[in-house]
Structure 1
Amino acid sequence: MLDELSPDNRRRIGPYMTLARLGAGGMGEVFLARRPEVAGQNSLVAVKTLHPDLTRKPELRARFQREIAAVGAVSGTFLASLLACDAGAEPPWLATEFIPGPTLAEAVDAAGPLSEETVRALGVDLATALRAVHARRLLHRDIKPGNVLLSSGGPRLIDFGIAKALEGIELTTAGQVIGTPGYMSPEHLDTGTEMSSASDVFCLASVLAYASCGRGPFDGGQTESVLYRISRAEADLSGVPGGLRDVLAECLRLRAEDRPDLAQLIGLLDPGSAPYAWPSAVAALCERYEQDATRLAALPLPPFSDFSGTRPPDRAPIGKRSGRSKGTMTGLAVFGLALGVLGALLVPRLMPGHHAASPSTSASPSPSASASASASASGKPVPTAGSSGQAATKVAQPSAMAGADAGASGDFGSAALTVSALRTNWAPWHRDLGYRLGGCALGDGLYVCSRYDGGLVALDADNGVTSWSLDPRVPLNGRLGDAAVGAPALADGIAYTTDGTYTRAVRLRDHSILWEKQAEGGQIAVSVLPVGKTLVTYLVNADSPQIGGSGTTNTSALRANAADGGQELWTTPLKSAGTTPIALDDRLYAMSDQHLVMLETQHGAVTASAPAACSVLHGNGQWVICADTGAGKVESFGAQHLDGGRMLLDSAGQYLALGRSGLLIADGMNPGAYTAVDLATGRTVWSYQLPAEQTSKDTALLLAGSKVIDLTVASPGIIDLSQGTSASPKPEEGPQGWPGSRNDGGVSAGQPSAVLADGLLYAGFADGTVLSGYAPQ
């Protein structure tokens, strides 16, 4: 995907004019650039530079120079060719041919796993590329889905940043374990074992497993667990088609000498006479990349003499441009036009009306008459979006955050179940993304979910097609133990999120990063909380045992940044960890030193506290709820001064919802047990136990007026609170794709992160299941 250039990015690198940012890694950045003297799509190149602040480190400059040597040494049909380089420039750079197409990771994310025939053909091509690499006495050492580009002309293997000479000359620092967790070989982890071509075979097999089922053979759990399984070659190939599974198992043997060589692997993978073509959704992705590349190649650019600096030229005030020639001004105007056109091209390629149908989604671009008839037959309301004979009116996109509000009340309001008018392009949909998710939120026509690794994925709310995906700076996998990554907060067209290392403000329309702030001092950024024009990040010490750290003390902090620019406003340390803070109005509530504390958002000072043991906080109106999920105890406090602490329940579970009227709904210690408590009196209004076949250990409770929506992996349900003491959960059949409707019973789907809006339900499960359908009524 393309990102707009930031003010600090260079506009000229060697003989090339930079147009957009393609990506970044630990050592450098990659830009899309133009060769002014060449016409057409061939004028586009990918230029990689060493980070300017790393050029002062001789060992890193030397490593980059060796990367240039490695790329220049190899050539082949399925490799990106080196076009030019300058190892002595400031900063040093290399230019390779630009391949217009998605990475394998993007393609699988957007279109789902590839067929066995396609994976076999892909494997043959990549193995052929590796043979060309090995013929030059080099290893790649970082074969992963992100380093495989798919184009209409076939795949390309890219990025030789950690290549190694077969003769044993290290191209990286001695003793380092370098690679990508999940796509290493056992030899990567054993510094006493010499790596060989068999190591690349092992990594290639992991990539092909990912392509065939959407997950790597060692995925799952903390990074340490992943690396341990790799060191023992304990691959999980259960999702790989049977015919391909045996081939990949041979390549994933523990001992290098037991694996087939590349020639043997090509023979084992040979798809025979089967036609080789990308699935339609992947082919459509490639076509979109090519169309954008053609448009970019046609943009007018100013003469290089007009634009040779590292930053954009300053715009002189009107009336003070006499020192600049007319010709120069014309060139700059043309360049401004080019950037404007580029900005239009930076809009995600899979926007409504321009997306490819995905085989892993049941959605269609627009609801058909049959869809409406089906909805009507099911008893769901089918609103009229336009009058007879007229075009349907486009309805404004709704928004909803995880937990319903900054107080995590779960109360979405009575309007959330009202189907006033459906957007013209919406139809029920479901997806299986193939990777773990954290929390999700709805806004600007997108359903945006945090990935378990700290990245983001944005799905079109109308049809579930992936609009974009954003990788973390540093993968979060496992650093929070088994805890889910906090949901993004969406406001004013921006997603505020964290990848564990950085708090980020991400523009929703094109997923460009507007600002990001790093967690300092060994802390992990766990979640973000918007409070007016302030963004509060919850930072936890990485050694805290509460999140699985090896230390003995739980500490954390709240850091406030300006939402519009990221300027740091204040930081307040806390003597506890593991309890996510909440906000009511302009006040924050958190745990510190066995006390529930209240802080003012303006300056971060603690203004009230009360002794408490809270692992989960909820707030709404005049109440703050403190739940100790380990002991099953629930207390209520007055939100204004944290006074009047009252014990409400002593056998509650971990899922609660709090209505503004003061009605608390809680599940019980036993799955399927529910209790409603009136906070004003402390009286139990009703309690109920679901039958065993309708229960689930993973639950979400959502409030909407007089209704409670009870979500489990088994099925959704609804409780009508207007029935008073007679209220009881009523299970409903879930929307298509609901985990309980799958053959495995949905036992591994995990807790749903769900929102309600305009009579629709959007739900994301920990296992990667995401869907949208009518909310229970």
Structure 2
Amino acid sequence: MLQALPDGHPARFVGPYRLLARLGSGGMGEVHLACDAQRPTSDPYRMVAVKTVREDIRAGEEFRVRFRREIAAARAVRSPYAAALVAGDADAASPWLATEYVPGPSLAEAVDRAGRLPVAAVRELGGDLARALDAIHRAQVLHRDLKPANVLLSADGPKVIDFGIAQAFDATALTSAGLVVGTPGFMAPEHLEGSRAVVPATDVFCLGALLAFAATGRGPFEDEEMGAVVYRISRADADLSAVPQELREVIGDCLRLDPAERPSAEVLAARLAPPRTGVFPWPGGVLSLLAEHGDAARRFGEAAASGAGVAELPTMGPTPVPYSPTALGAQIRTPPAAPPVPPTEDASRRRTRRGWIAAGALALVMLTAGGVVLLELDKDSANKAFNKGSSGEKSATSDGTSRAPAAYDGRVVQPYGGVGHTQDFGAGATDRSLRAAGWSPWEAKVPADTGPCVLAGELLVCSGSGGAVTVLRAADGKEAWSRPGRGGEPRGQGWTPAVANGTVYITDDEGVSTYELGSGKSGVRRKHAAGDYVVTGTESLDGILYTTYAHPSRESDKNLITARRLTGSGGEVWRASLSGNPGSPVAAGGRVYVPAGTELWSFDARSGTQVVRGGPSGGGAACWSAVVHGDAVLCGGGNGVAVLDARTLKQRRQIADGVVSLVGPAVTATGMVVLGDADQLSAYEVRTGRRLWRKEAEGDTADLMIAGGQILAGSGLTVSAHSFDGRGTADRATFEVPKEVASSAGETGGRQVLVSGGVVFLVLAEGVVVSGYAP
């Protein structure tokens, strides 16, 4: 629950952050909603949760050493399914840490206020949380306190919190008698045996209990008496009678008494749900809570951004759940008597359990202090600990989110989508495992002529006028490196950068410059063999850079296209003459297509031999842009779209007659063509030319993309999502550039949109790049 700061008090700052509202408190201190003090924002996705520590805890040096170590551990966990650590300072007078703010309820609040989740949502929830645990375990960290209050829900899915910091509080105030951290109903049998018995499978057990709660609204060990809860946990005596049949087996496997019989987090993720490519299937009640939390945070941010005092907000629900992941779940002082141990237990187990039952829940105080344990760094002991509790099911790779990825892994996202310039960004557009580690929404100031950009692993590589290049970190928008353009005055526009084998290739009118992707170190520069020509477009595919040129004399029969190797000698492979007004080349299917206004050229990609020359055959169609889809080439830029045979370049049909689109069409894998005509969107079948639907868009459409089963339309300072069937009721949402950024970006809006990992990168015309959640 968000609570306003005391009225009339001056603004309060912690590190570089201004506190906006109180999120919660616990045994260690308080958690506040905050934003960058230098750049107040009303966008909840640009806010952070700042935790400060109580004065009586932070005094000792031992605490600071552990706190410092746990901050490092939290940084090691990189997963889109876990809230990222943004910053922290263990050496400050008042130690603090800031994590990604998730504008949504905890799972505990969601179930309490909106009811249990449907089976499909529980499966997706479990799959994401299992992937989060896999990432945590691969970072050599155990969670030890996975419970509904430690899972926050966002429109993008769930996020685990408090996975690498709570051990800093071991042997401090949290071990005070009478205090219990966490919720006993979501502990594992190993918790009752002491911290040395806790293994990765312990977290899996807790996840099983959490999923049972999500599916039924009750914990599987819930009981009126605390002693009975402890006793049932000690025997793994879970009540799954209310769990839907489709989930009962997998949850039951998580709750097995022997840790070695439980599935690993990686195997569990595969059993529950594969990585998602669409939106999360939250029910309506949860969506309402998400909107409520987002609106509340936005109001506090708007007050701070305006310079006004923070306004009072109403309580956000009848039974609010504290946000603080370290809030005390209970204060147990005089536990009730526990039920007797059945005489059928074997002697050794009987002795262990009987001691626990006699002590009751009071004994939990000694064994549950601290929610996280950092494993020993000694390799042998770490391997032993992690092998214990493993089911023996192993895989060479996980979902790719758990290891700290390199800045560049060979994957490059082009501004036109995949091969053929279809504007289809594929399943990777919404696959969160492809998101840069530690990403959160950001905006960055860049030169006004920046763009176009490509996403190379975790770096956004942008060209600029005269061969300039700016490289930003995709995670936070901070500049990795940059190089100015050649000459004093800007000359020409920037062209799409090429990235291959860790090298950046930037084309300008005079040549191609190379730089090391990671460091920006300059490499070889090669002048264009074409001479004094003007570049009109570039394309890179399979280690070859294709470049089209216009002759400065404007004699159209002297224009050129060249192919140059990106690796090895970097020499020219071939060149060929062409006439007309050459646009950007498109390489696909062993050919290179060059749109040239009223015609289209086709060259053999290996030899440069002109294969055929054709184009639209009347009807007002033109070929200023080309899209290759299967055995067809779609020419756009005039009246409608001309569909040509990719082999002969003869026109098969003209579709969308009367639609004049200034942007190229987007084509889905199934052959649906989407066009933008001013403030209208329309869709057609490539095969028949039949119109499927037509609808109003959010303003003038400047960019069209296919992203994970939906259509994204860029218009000025917004990106809106639309369903494939064109029905208004199925439309998704809209990403909008924050007001404070829009005011500095001007009214011209976006000039390019990239989408990957559920994130959009919007390059604005006035020298601003914005990154946010894809709608």
TM-score bucket (shorter structure): 0.3 to 0.5
Larger C-alpha radius of gyration, 1 or 2? 2
Q: Which has the higher contact order (CA 8 A, sep 6+)?
A: 2
Query: Structure 2 length as normaliser, TM-score?
Result: 0.47
